[in-house]
A and B are shown apart, each in its own frame.
Chain A
C-alpha cells in the first residue's frame, strides 16, 4: 500500500525563484522523522532535510525548508533562490514501521536558466 504520496510528477522553476514540492504520508508511528532526499543525474541519493514530528518548528537547511502539517500529514519542501544544481528527482520518505523507510514516487524538478 502506498503510504507516501507525491502528487507532482514534474515541476519546473526559474533560476532564483522559489518552488514548493508536495508530499503527504501515512504512518502508524507516534514519534517519527520525515525526510526529503535528492537524486541528481549521478544517481547518488542524498539527504536534503529531516523533520522531527514532535517538533512544531519547521526544519530549515540553508535554502531548503519544510512546511510540516502534522494533523494533515503533509510535509512539503520549499526551495528558495533555486539554482541550476537543484535540478534532480526529489523523494519524500517516512517510516512505516520502526525499521523500514517508505518513499514516494518522486518529483522531477527542472530549473530553467
Chain B
C-alpha cells in the first residue's frame, strides 16, 4: 500500500515562528502536493512539485515556500507564521500526471497563536 506520512498530526506554533511541515511518501511518486483545507473552501493548492528540486505555485502560495531535495520528501515552510495560517494542511502524492489517483497523508492541524 502507498503510504504518505506527515510528520505531525497536531502542531501549535507562535506568531512569527518559522514552521516546517514534512511529508514523506514511499512509492516513488513523481508528483507531490501541499493543500490547505478550510471549512467551506475545500482543498486549496498551495504548491506542487513534479520532480526533485522542481516546484510550481498553486492558488495560494503567499506566505509559504516548499523544498524537495529528495524524491520522497516534500516540505512546506511557513517563513513567519501568522494566525491566518491556522488550518488543516494535507500532503498528497501521485504517480505521473494529475490523471492518476492522489494518495493523501493524515493531515496536520496547525494552530498559530
Contact = CB atoms under 8 A, between A and B. Distances in A.
B106 A33 contact: no
Nearest to A45: B104
A96 B42 CA distance: 16
Contacts, number: 68
Contact of B106 (A31, A43, A99): A43
Given A9-B40, A43-B107, A99 B97 contact: yes
A2 to B, nearest CB: 9
B50 A99 contact: yes
A33 B99 contact: yes
B11 to A, nearest CB: 14
Contact of A98 (B40, B92, B98, B102): B98
Interface size bucket, A side?
20 to 34
B99 to A, nearest CB: 4
The dominant DSSP class at the A interface is loop
Nearest to B98: A95
Contacts of A97: 98
Given A43-B106, A105-B42, A100 B101 contact: no
A101 B102 contact: yes
Nearest to A47: B101
Contacts of A64: none
B98 A100 contact: yes
A104 B42 contact: yes
B40 A95 contact: no
A100 B42 contact: no
Rank and list the top 6 A-B pairs by shortest CB-CB distance, nearest first. Answer: A95-B98, A105-B42, A45-B104, A103-B43, A33-B99, A101-B98
7 contacts: A32-B99, A35-B102, A50-B101, A95-B98, A99-B98, A102-B59, A103-B43
Interface of A: 1, 4, 6, 9, 29, 31-33, 35, 37, 42-47, 50, 91, 93, 95-106
